[in-house]
Chains A and B, each alone.
Chain A
Amino acid sequence: MSQALDMLSVLLLFFGVLFILVGSIGLLRMPDVFTRMHAAGITDTIGAAAIILGLMLVAGWTIVLIKLLIVLLFLMLLNPTACHALARAAVHGIRSPWQGESEQQQ
């Protein structure tokens, strides 16, 4: 049983790392701030959640588990809020989101 949990934990950590790295690459590759936000969203939601869940599985039934859960809930509450506030500000500040190569030429 505990071996299965360990396996699952390693799997979750692996996917978490994968998504975080892909998100970071997206952060560098994407053409404008909004599309970069989507890339950063991968890191901040799925990547973070997978890593915290992976840690939760190895923590066992201790207070560490509760604290990890609180950290997870906080990240899931605060990250989209910060992202939304940033996107809202960027819409007013930039006004012209990137809409594909052809429009960017203008």
Chain B
Amino acid sequence: MLTLVTIALLAAMGMALIRAIKGPTVYDRILASNTFSTKTVLMISVLGFLTGESEVYLDIALMYALVGFIVTVAVLKVSEFGDLGQSRPDSGENRQ
């Protein structure tokens, strides 16, 4: 069963990748990368059970969930403000 879940997750990740490549807007790509990272978290958890070392794998899954969120926020910020450091938007010129 767990192997089937892994295969299904891989298929879903492939579909997310297609969406990330096709776009068309930058928001589609960010959305695709965000759901891709959620699926990665699930995949790592399932792999932990498959290998029998779920304690170790779950630490990685937890970290991946956190980092995935930070990545989404960071990419969003770059695409919106054109810079990582600003605390408020200065202009809306950098959007695609």
Contacts and interface: CB of A to CB of B under 8 A. Distances in A.
Direct touch of chains A and B (CB < 8 A)? yes
Contacts, number: 132
Interface in B1-36: 1-2, 4-5, 8-9, 11-12, 15-16, 18-19, 25-28, 30-32, 34-35
A71 to B, nearest CB: 5
A93 B38 CA distance: 24
A89 B39 CA distance: 23
A86 B11 CA distance: 24
B45 A71 contact: yes
A24 B31 CA distance: 12
B39 A20 contact: yes
Interface residues of A, number: 44
A71 B58 contact: yes
B18 A70 contact: no
Smallest CB-CB A-B distances: 6 pairs: A24-B15, A67-B58, A24-B12, A78-B69, A90-B27, A17-B8
Interface of B: 1-2, 4-5, 8-9, 11-12, 15-16, 18-19, 25-28, 30-32, 34-35, 38-39, 41-42, 45-46, 49, 54-55, 58-59, 61-62, 65-66, 68-69, 72-73, 76, 79-80, 92, 95-96
Interface of A: 10, 13, 16-17, 20-21, 23-25, 27-28, 33, 36-37, 40, 43-44, 47-48, 51-52, 55, 58-59, 63-64, 67-68, 70-71, 74-75, 78-79, 81-83, 85-86, 89-90, 92-94
Given A17-B4, A86-B30, 19 more contacts: A16-B5, A20-B9, A21-B12, A23-B35, A28-B19, A36-B19, A37-B31, A40-B35, A51-B46, A59-B54, A67-B55, A71-B61, A79-B34, A85-B76, A86-B34, A89-B27, A92-B92, A92-B95, A93-B27
